[in-house]
Structure 1
Amino acid sequence: MGQQDVWRLLSRFSSLRRANVVLQHLRMSVHTDAADVLLERRGCAGVITLNRPKFLNALSLDMIRQIYPQLKTWEQDPETYLIIIKGAGGKAFCAGGDIKAISEAKKTGQSMTQVFFREEYTLNNAIASCQKPYVALIDGITMGGGVGLSVHGRFRVATERSLFAMPETGIGLFPDVGGGYFLPRLEGRLGYFLALTGFRLKGRDVHRAGIATHFVDSEKLHKLEEELLALKSPSAEDVAGVLESYQAESKMDQDKSILFEEHMDKINSCFSANTVEQIIENLRQDGSPFALEQLKFSLTKTRVQSGNQPSY
């Protein structure tokens, strides 16, 4: 074999290597773009990233089926000391379940609805019973399915961008993802009010209402996460200490009045009835602008629930 032949072979081999590297990068890129949820072991923690920013990180059945087994694995792993869950994109933690996918499946005769809710609630229960500290960074929109992924965990960190609501009663569904458990445990009748009206809590009010356990400025979240990941064999108390230190530093909206505070007397009186019909009558009799505004929402939802309820 001549020298020219050798050079041709080397050149061809080099070209093949470069092509292989390019293909590997392309495969990684495709995988990253397609991954709706990222599951990583970083530092002392397992990190879950909801990765559908274009869809406000709406929770799909496939995401549930990836998160649940990994959560159970990390719970049993002696090298994993805490679990962090967050949303990608900066706009939402998780805006809810992927209702569009469920609706499309129903149109084609698939039984995804029952399967989705059964597996979603199983995941919610696993979060509630998780033996490792579970930290949900609820930065941005947190509704429906996103509430289920966060509110049952031990630690929930809100920011000034947090937006919490239970809007599912607007489509004729009961307060979803364990709402019947955690909502009645809020102050006074606040939980009943949130459930029946879909009222939106924003920013620091998410913490003040008891939905979040801590409040941190959104610009500090990355630093907070890195500090949590750097902990050595942390206990739940160690995690709480870090969260409390960041909360103590936060001054954003600290002096802002609580949005629902001025209406708590009306909320407690009007929403203390045992039936929706009586609550509506209480709001009618109250007659204040606040009561009439809530009456409008309650009547709309009642009409949906009695006449146009989706068949699940």
Structure 2
Amino acid sequence: MTDDVLISAERGVARLRLNRPKAIHALTTEMCEAMSEALLRWRTDSNIQCVVIDHAEGRGFCAGGDVVMLAKSGAGDAHKAKEFFFAEYRLNHLLFTYDKPTIAIMDGITMGGGVGISQPCTLRVATENTRLAMPETGIGLFPDVGGGWYLSRLPGRVGQFMALSGARLDGAECAYLGLATHYIPNASLGELVERIVKAPDRVQGTLGAAAETPPEPKIAGNQALINRLFASDRLEEILAALEADESEWSEKELLTLRTKSPLSCKVSLRLLAEGADRASFADEMRAEYALAGRVVRTHDFKEGVHALLIDKHNQPQWNPPIAEGVSDDMLDELFAPLPKSEQWTPFPETGE
């Protein structure tokens, strides 16, 4: 067990509260395993009617998986990385298939692994503080934890835009895109949880009563541009479209994409293209697990984590340095399925 997750139950409401404020509640293997253990226990407990997931203190819900921990422990060391991804993806899938209402309160930073534990939830609360993003291409990774499933199902090409750019969405944008089911001010969250505890069998109504109309979402004004300029599944064509557009917005996004790992960007585009046709979320997790185990052994992952999160000089030297250097053969190697004995598997209790 770990003190990095506060686990409790009161009057039919089970609670998982992330408790690593100095790391903005970044997930570790132990945290994923502790949450899964509690969820499996509550799954068959007739006294538990719903589960609330939030953070105990600090400025964000969850900054992601602890990739710094992985890198420092050698998560280029494949075993540590695979152990983490296996546990994290089991938690993601368990939440996706959970048969009791789950409520994620995405107050503050919600990135990477934080998206992975909020998006499978039945109800997802955004606030004025929410900043949701999948910023993995900046560290040589890709939008995992179900990113290939969720992002590929967003309107138009918004998912591809998010995956490549790492764009941060605010609470209003999350509500507009369906990434959040309710927009509730931060000041109302304490009372919201109290009301859920008083009536755990009426969570939908409780959230509906507390919800407010969000401000106008900024992304709505750029959606036509996003759909047009990010229309291709080829990175070279997206970059060319942004270059040719010559608008202030496209110039800014082009500069952003130039800072990302070309390998990660191409991996992300292919993941979303394949994820759109994936038959089940379990299949998505299997594919992402095979991919993640290989990507963390690449030059770009080690380079990106050190450049942005450890040494913090913010000048990663990607290899290959340009989109044209990433071949289809390189991608085929990363996307190859694992032998059956090495594949990711869900918890047997989920029946998949």
TM-score by length of 2: 0.73
Q: Report the alpha carbon displacement of residue 110 of structure 1 after superposing the two structures with TM.
A: 7.2
CA 1:157–1:102 in 2, change beyond 3 Å: closer, same or farther?
same
- Count matched residues: 271
Three-state SS of the structure 2 residue aligned to 1:124 is helix
Three-state SS of the structure 2 residue aligned to 1:161 is coil
Aligned to 2:242: 283
Aligned to 1:76: 44
Rounded to whole Å, the distance in 2 between the matches of 1:110 and 1:190 is 32
Residue number among 166, 189, 199 corresponding to 2:157 in the alignment: 189
Aligned to 1:123: 91
CA 1:107–1:146 in 2, change beyond 3 Å: closer, same or farther?
closer
In the alignment, structure 1 residue 259 sits paired with structure 2 residue 218: yes
Residue number among 178, 190, 203 corresponding to 1:239 in the alignment: 203
Structure 2: gaps of 5 or more residues: 267-297, 303-333, 335-352
The answer to whether the 8 A contact 2:139-2:261 is kept is: no
Aligned to 1:27: none
Residue number among 156, 159, 173 corresponding to 1:205 in the alignment: 173
Q: Report the alpha carbon displacement of residue 191 of structure 1 after superposing the two structures with TM.
A: 1.0
Rounded to whole Å, the distance in 2 between the matches of 1:186 and 1:301 is 22
Rounded to whole Å, the distance in 2 between the matches of 1:128 and 1:149 is 9
What amino acid maps onto 1:285 in structure 2?
Answer: A
Three-state SS of the structure 1 residue aligned to 2:167 is coil
What amino acid maps onto 2:260 in structure 1?
Answer: K
The answer to whether the 8 A contact 1:105-1:111 is kept is: no
Alignment of 1:1-312 (within 5 A): 35-106=3-74, 111-231=79-199, 234=201, 238-247=202-211, 250=212, 254=214, 256-303=215-262, 305=264, 308-310=299-301
What amino acid maps onto 2:226 in structure 1?
Answer: I
CA 1:109–1:174 in 2, change beyond 3 Å: closer, same or farther?
closer
Q: Report the alpha carbon displacement of residue 299 of structure 1 after superposing the two structures with TM.
A: 2.2
Q: Report the alpha carbon displacement of residue 303 of structure 1 after superposing the two structures with TM.
A: 4.0
CA 1:64–1:263 in 2, change beyond 3 Å: closer, same or farther?
same
What amino acid maps onto 1:273 in structure 2?
Answer: S
Identity percentage over the alignment? 36
Greater RCO (Cα-Cα under 8 Å, separation 6 or more): 2
TM-score by length of 1: 0.82
CA 1:290–1:41 in 2, change beyond 3 Å: closer, same or farther?
same
Q: Which moved more, 1:78-87 or 1:297-306?
A: 297-306
Q: Report the alpha carbon displacement of residue 292 of structure 1 after superposing the two structures with TM.
A: 1.3
Alpha-carbon deviations, 1:265-300, whole Å to 9, x = none?
110001111211111111111121111111112222
Q: Report the alpha carbon displacement of residue 111 of structure 1 after superposing the two structures with TM.
A: 2.1
Rounded to whole Å, the distance in 2 between the matches of 1:274 and 1:163 is 26
Three-state SS of the structure 2 residue aligned to 1:127 is helix
The answer to whether the 8 A contact 2:239-2:254 is kept is: yes
What amino acid maps onto 1:153 in structure 2?
Answer: C
Q: Report the alpha carbon displacement of residue 109 of structure 1 after superposing the two structures with TM.
A: 5.1
Aligned to 2:271: none
Q: Which moved more, 1:273-282 or 1:297-306?
A: 297-306
Structure 1: gaps of 5 or more residues: 1-30
Aligned to 2:285: none
CA 1:259–1:157 in 2, change beyond 3 Å: closer, same or farther?
same
Rounded to whole Å, the distance in 2 between the matches of 1:195 and 1:100 is 20
Aligned to 2:275: none
The answer to whether the 8 A contact 1:57-1:88 is kept is: no
What amino acid maps onto 1:222 in structure 2?
Answer: G
CA 1:154–1:263 in 2, change beyond 3 Å: closer, same or farther?
same
Rounded to whole Å, the distance in 1 between the matches of 2:97 and 2:176 is 24
The answer to whether the 8 A contact 2:261-2:300 is kept is: no
Alpha-carbon deviations, 1:198-233, whole Å to 9, x = none?
01111322211221111101111111111111115x
Three-state SS of the structure 2 residue aligned to 1:170 is helix
